[in-house]
Structure 1
Amino acid sequence: MTILKNAGQAVLGSILMFAGITHLTVARQEFQAQVPDWFPLDADFVVIASGIVEVTLGLALLTIWKQPARGVLGAIVATFFVVIFPGNIAQWLEHKDGFGLDTDTKRFVRLFFQPLLVWWALGVTSAISTIRSIRAARTSATR
């Protein structure tokens, strides 16, 4: 199981690095389609900032392997996927094309993949059990 988790973490890290690099280079306009119209910051700034975050998280996933840091990192990555989810919803609701998502049906189907990314980040890093252990240790230390 450890080999599968390690491989899953490395693949997720690589995907995040790749996505982050494309945010900063060849796919900036495509990613801007995912920035909601109502969001108060410039779409290009959001794309650049999220690209930097993705590269950083991807690099961390490729280099941090020991617990509890690995589990904490997994929780941070999962949180990132939750935070950017409104952009995916906005792309669907605002009927914005990007990355071949040129119909409402395609944009809607894509929404179901975000929870899988959250699950992936939590699973391969053992984030939930790590966070529980940290909380238990803090609780017992304060008694």
Structure 2
Amino acid sequence: MKEKDIKTTARIILGAGLVFAGISHLTFARKEFQAQVPDVIPLKKDDTVVYSGFAEVAMGSALILANKKNKETIGKIAAAFFTAVFPGNISQLINHRSAFGLDTDGKRFARLFFQPVLVYWALKSTGKKSKEITK
């Protein structure tokens, strides 16, 4: 499989995951996501979950539909989003809030290491091909 095909597949899978997560924010998992909203956010927890759900649906759709001209920018925006929501994962750990099967501090701590993977995935699946970087 060519690098381009692997990156396209990875980008579409990430986009689909974001669309699914966004829909779950808006529907069946709203309460679960509220457990991740840090208390310092000046909005109601449910509003934060709904707004982030809309953002995830939009971002996921953009990743899926990205063309050659805009996919790198969309990947950077997705990486920034994953970075911006990371404090929610920290909040879930330090406040001992159970959600999504993360019902121990060990599981909540392990979850922290997945966020950098998402950032890398967003950047790698939308960035320039290796040959283009070396030119």
Please, what TM-score do these two structures have when normalized by structure 2?
0.92
Matched, 1:125 2:126: yes
Q: Could you tell me the percent identity over the aligned residues? A: 52
Distance 2:58 2:103 in 1: 30
Q: Which runs of no fewer than 5 residues in structure 2 stay unpaired?
A: none
Measured after TM superposition, the shift of residue 81 of structure 1 is 0.2
Alignment of 1:1-143 (within 5 A): 1-67=3-69, 69-126=70-127
The higher radius of gyration belongs to 1
Q: Equivalents in 2 of 1:25, 1:61: separation in Å?
A: 22
Structure 1: distance between partners of 2:37 and 2:23: 17
What amino acid maps onto 2:47 in structure 1?
F
Partner of 2:85: helix, strand, or coil?
helix
Quick one: distance in 1 between partners of 2:67 and 2:17?
Answer: 17
**Whole-Å Cα distance in 2 between the matches of residues 39 and 46 of structure 1?**
8
* Shift of residue 65, structure 1, vs aligned partner: 2.3
Structure 1 residue 110 displacement after superposition: 0.1
Distance in 2 separating the partners of 1:11 and 1:121: 10
Q: In structure 2, give the amino acid aligned to 1:3.
A: D
**Structure 1 residue runs without a partner (length 5+):** 133-143
- Matches of 1:38 and 1:106, distance apart in 2: 23
Provide the C-alpha distance between the structure 2 equivalents of 1:40 and 1:103, rounded to a whole number of angstroms: 27
Pairwise CA distance, 1:80: 0.2
Letter in 2 for 1:55: V
Quote the RMSD (CA, aligned, Å). 1.3
Q: Give the partner amino acid of 2:40.
A: W
Displacement of 1:38 in angstroms is 2.2
